[in-house]
Amino acid sequence: MTASNKRNKPSAKLRKARIRHLLMTAGPNRITRGWFYRRHHAEGVVVRDEEIVVPNWPKAFDGIRIGHASDMHVGDMMKPDRAIEIVSQLRDEQPDMVCHTGDLVDLYWPGVEPVAEAFASIDAPLGNFFVRGNHDELDSGDEVERIVAATGTTVLHDDVALVRRGSDTLRVGGVAWARTPSSCRSRIDAALGDESVDLLLSHNPKAFDHAAEKGVALTLSGHTHGGQIARRNRPNANMALLHGYRRNAGVYEIGNSRLFVTVGAGSWFPVRWNVPAEIAILTIRSGATVS
């Protein structure tokens, strides 16, 4: 029996996502005889370099370079071969740490294994981390996490990992997909308890308000895709605003806390207008604390 034969009946959310995919993506692509996907893929993926000054970032980890990938959406618009090429772009940057903030898969998990292995094969001295996104849960979030964990990548499901460098420690937390600010709050509290972390991974940037309340120095998120369609030279004026995501692309701050939202490497419909697909290389600097 194949793995796919063992899968359960599709959930209502997966059925809805399949219909949306057919109407907005696969259908138009078929009608245009593949032109839609070809044109979309020809745009490539950019490497975005960003320096982020983070108050309260541990001095011992000043200057580390985090390879931040998100929203690969491996599926019929992002075949595993293409995803592995994008992971190679990230590998070439030789990051100190790799963080993938979810939506590794688009609809279904079978076939994603080689992409998870490619991520794990990036030899990042401070480790490779993953949290799951909403698309990872459409078929089976548990299977996606199982596959990623089997490669040796650390899956943070409402959990905290300690990254050691000599006698110094960086505390890295991660939460599984949560849709609303209050569900983000519950997951963060479950992961952190009464403590805080230096770095938090959350697919949903709506986690940032509570992360800042908890004193988290830096939060990394994805999910918005930067709306995929934005006004020219105004990356934050994009379609994600229609879904209530005002922190939807780039760096944001609340007090001493910082958030970076990547617009992601994949897509859920084959158009990106003024929002190129990206992988991010984040250089993190320890900044002065504002009281």
* Pairing verdict, β 234-238 and 250-254: unpaired
Q: Which of 258, 192, 274 is nearest to 225 (CA)?
A: 274
- Write out the two tokens for 61: 């980890």
Give how far the C-alpha of residue 82 lies from the chain's centroid of Cα atoms, to the nearest Å: 17
Q: Is 139 in the site for Fe ion (CB under 5 A)?
A: no
Smallest separation, CB 133 to Fe ion (Å):
6
The smaller minimum CB distance to Fe ion, of residues 71 and 96, is found at 71
Amino acid letter for position 272 = R
Q: Is 106 in the site for Fe ion (CB under 5 A)?
A: no
Judged by CB under 5 A, the stretch of 18-26, 63-71, 139-147, 231-239 that binds Fe ion is: 63-71
Applying CB under 5 A, among 71, 106, 143, 145 the residue interacting with Fe ion is: 71
Instruction: Determine the Cα–Cα distance for residues 128 and 100; give it in Å rounded to an integer.
Output: 8
Asked if residues 67 and 99 have their Cβ atoms less than 8 Å apart, the reply is yes
Smallest separation, CB 272 to Fe ion (Å):
13
The smaller minimum CB distance to Fe ion, of residues 55 and 174, is found at 174
SS3 assignment, position 151 = coil
Judged by CB under 5 A, the stretch of 97-105, 161-169, 178-186, 228-236 that binds Fe ion is: 97-105
Asked if residues 219 and 257 have their Cβ atoms less than 8 Å apart, the reply is yes
Smallest separation, CB 183 to Fe ion (Å):
17
Judged by CB under 5 A, the stretch of 48-56, 68-76, 116-124, 164-172 that binds Fe ion is: 68-76
The smaller minimum CB distance to Fe ion, of residues 106 and 198, is found at 106
Kindly tell me the burial class for residue 9, based on how many C-beta atoms sit within 10 Å of its own C-beta (0-12, 13-18, 19 or more): exposed
Instruction: Determine the Cα–Cα distance for residues 101 and 203; give it in Å rounded to an integer.
Output: 5
The smaller minimum CB distance to Fe ion, of residues 187 and 214, is found at 187
Beta strands in 123-217 (DSSP E): 128-130, 154-155, 159-165, 168-175, 199-202
Smallest separation, CB 33 to Fe ion (Å):
26
Asked if residues 68 and 220 have their Cβ atoms less than 8 Å apart, the reply is yes
Smallest separation, CB 120 to Fe ion (Å):
21
The smaller minimum CB distance to Fe ion, of residues 103 and 143, is found at 103
Count the residues of the shown chain that bind Fe ion, applying the rule CB under 5 A. 2
The smaller minimum CB distance to Fe ion, of residues 35 and 273, is found at 273
Q: Is 137 in the site for Fe ion (CB under 5 A)?
A: no
Applying CB under 5 A, among 68, 97, 103, 124 the residue interacting with Fe ion is: 103
The smaller minimum CB distance to Fe ion, of residues 56 and 204, is found at 204
Count CB neighbours of 246 within 10 A.
Answer: 11
- Write out the two tokens for 165: 């460098």
Residues within the interface to Fe ion (CB under 5 A)? 71, 103
